[in-house]
Structure 1
Amino acid sequence: MEFNNNMPIYMQVIHELKKELIRGNLALGSKMPSARDLAIQYQINPNTANRIYREMELQELCYTKRGLGTFATEDEQRLMRVREEMAKEYMSAFLIGMRDLGLQEEDVISLIKKEFDNTKEQGLS
C-alpha cells in the first residue's frame, strides 16, 4: 500500500481495513492480524498498528479478547452502516469534482449511466 500525505497513515490503513471488511475479505468475527503482523504487512510502526486497532475498537469495527487477539466485528448491520458512510464520502468527492467541471445533475446522471453500460460491456460489473 502506498501512503499519501493528505491523511495520517493510521487513518489510511483503517480505511483499507474497512474496505476489506465490507468486501468480505476479512470475515465477520474472524481473527485479525496481530498488531505486530499488521505493522509488518503495511510497513508501519508497531505503535501505529496499535493505534489502528484502538481506533477501530472505538468505531466498533473490531474487538480484543485478552490473550486471544483482535477479531473483526460480528455486527453485520454496523458494516452496512460503514459501507453507506464510505459510499457517501466517495459520492461527495465525486460530485464536488463534477460541479467543478460545470456539470449539471442531468449531465452527471447521464455520464454515470453510460459508464455503467461501458463497464457491463467490458465485463467489469
Structure 2
Amino acid sequence: MEFRIDRRSAIPAYQQVVEQTKQALRLGALMPGDRLPTAKEVAEASALNPNTTLKAYRELEREGLAELMPGLGTFIRRSLARPQTGSDSLLREELEAWVGRARDAGLEREDVSALIASLLDAKYAEVAAPGSRSTSLNRKEQQ
C-alpha cells in the first residue's frame, strides 16, 4: 500500500494515512492478516515522518482495525469490505458509468466530488436522524 499525502490539505497527515487505510479496507484492497508498510518504508516512499505513520497506526489499533506486533510490523485485524463495494459489484459499475458521464459532460473532479459529498450529506443525514424529515420537506412547510 502506498499513501498519498496532500501537504496542502487541512487534514493532518496522520489522519490521511488513517482514512486511506480505511478506504483500502472498505474496498477489499487490504484484508485481515495483511501487513502495512513499516514507518521507514512510508517515510522513504512519501517523505512522511516515521512518527506520523506510527501515530496513524496507533489510531488504527485503537479502532480495532490493526495490531502492532513489535519486531514484526503492523497487521490488519479486520476488514471493512462489503460485497456491494467489490470491483465486480453492480453498484460500482453503475457509479463508474455515472462518473464517466459526468466527466464527459465537462465536470471536473472537484465538481463530481462536491456533488457526491452534498448527496451523501443529504441522504445519510436522513438515516442519522430517524423520525426527522429531510431539510427540503421542512423548507416546504415553512413557505
- Matched residue, 2:68: 64
Q: State the match for 2:99 in structure 1.
A: none
Q: CA deviation at 1:5?
A: 2.6
**Counterpart selection for 1:37 from 1, 16, 41:** 41
**Could you tell me the TM-score, scaled by structure 1's length?**
0.58
Give CA-to-partner distance per residue, 1:75-123, whole Å, 9 cap, x none: 34xx269xxxxxxxx999424887xxxx948xxxxxxxxxxxxxxxxxx
Report deviation, 1:20. Answer: 1.1
Contact kept? 1:39, 1:48, Cα under 8 Å? no
Unaligned runs of 5+ in 1: 82-89, 106-125
Structure 2 unmatched runs, 5+: 83-113, 123-134, 138-143
Deviations 1:39-73 (A, max 9, x none): 22332111111111111111111001222111011
Over aligned residue pairs, what C-alpha RMSD do you find? 3.3
Q: Is the 8 A contact 1:62 1:71 kept in 2?
A: yes
1:12: which partner in 2? Answer: 16
Q: Which amino acid aligns with 1:15?
A: E
Q: Normalised by the size of structure 2, how large is the TM-score?
A: 0.51
Percent identity among equivalent residues? 33
The correspondence for 2:54, drawn from 44, 47, 50, is: 50
Rounded to whole Å, the distance in 1 between the matches of 2:121 and 2:35 is 38
The alignment covers a number of residue pairs equal to: 90
The structure with more radius of gyration:
2
Paired residues of 1:27 and 1:72 also in contact (CA < 8 A)? yes
